[in-house]
Amino acid sequence: MNLPALSFDQLRHLAPRALRRHIATDQYQGHTSGLGQGRVQANIVILPGDWADEFLRFCTLNRQACPILDITRPGDPLFRHLGEHVDIRHDVPRYRVYRQGELTEQPQNIKHLWRDDLVAFAIGCSFSFEQPLLEAGIDLRHVKLGRNVAMYQTDIDTRPTERLQGKLVVSMRPLKAADAIRAIQITGRMPNVHGAPVHIGDPRLIGIHDLGAPDYGDAVPLADDELPVFWACGVTPQAVVQASRPPLCITHAPGCMLVSDLHNHSL
């Protein structure tokens, strides 16, 4: 194919399948925030055989951080439950390849890396619950400021498996009390996208000592009449997997998610 590159504004008008087809041509390698017409976007983790089995157990034990939306059969590059012809070999704008836990490559597709024993996991992402929050009239500061959400490593242990263990990573959104209460109710009804917050208020109680210095993403200011509200974050499984140094692990690059055909409200 030899399609012309599209502007970001043109990309915004593409339906999810058309967007994936454009991304598959390697002509777009940027972030997917605001793209895909409000459909579900997913974190991606790809692992070989026995690591995949263990990772599935880890996700099951840590569902709030790792809500699995779909999982491929070994060697099959298609997510069968995320939409029409969703091919994980090229439908993500940019990938990260880790070998023994070290970042070795950031390709635009992974056709050259695909193997018969690879299993791909699509994991729910907080983009999906931000839409219902915004629709409920709740302002999200990082959205307003055009920044990535602030993410922090906590001192909360995940439930370990043999080789996979680590601390919970959370995303933080500053909210006024009334909005925090509504946000808890709204996200509590979305267990496939991290569900209700894991903490609210004093960050030190979960091992976060400086809100101004997030471990991932961008810091946002907290007003005097706001509470920091913390949700389990889909970065958790990536961080845990990288720390355990499997021979091969492929993920999406930060912010460059897989755009599915699923509606956010279906979660």
Residue closer to a copy of itself (CB basis): 84 or 225: 225
- The CB-of-1 to a copy of itself minimum distance in angstroms stands at 48
CA distance readout (Å), 233 to 48, 86, 101, 152 = 23, 24, 20, 9
Q: How many other C-beta atoms can be found within 10 angstroms of the C-beta atom of residue 166?
A: 19
Q: 37 burial class (0-12, 13-18, 19+ CB within 10 angstroms)?
A: middle
Q: What are phi and psi of 174, to 5 degrees?
A: -80, 130
- The CB-of-198 to a copy of itself minimum distance in angstroms stands at 7
Residue closer to a copy of itself (CB basis): 71 or 198: 198
- The CB-of-189 to a copy of itself minimum distance in angstroms stands at 9
- The CB-of-20 to a copy of itself minimum distance in angstroms stands at 35
Helices 235-244, 49-61: axis angle to 10 degrees equals: 140
Residue closer to a copy of itself (CB basis): 153 or 260: 153
- The CB-of-192 to a copy of itself minimum distance in angstroms stands at 16
Residue closer to a copy of itself (CB basis): 145 or 177: 177
- The CB-of-178 to a copy of itself minimum distance in angstroms stands at 7
Residues that bind a copy of itself (CB under 8 A): 177-178, 180-182, 184-185, 188, 196-202, 205, 225, 227
Q: Which residue from 45, 26, 164 is spatially nearest to 98, judged by alpha carbons? A: 45
Residue closer to a copy of itself (CB basis): 52 or 198: 198
Residue closer to a copy of itself (CB basis): 153 or 187: 187
Q: 180 burial class (0-12, 13-18, 19+ CB within 10 angstroms)?
A: buried
Q: Is 237 helix (H, G, I), strand (E, B) or coil?
A: helix
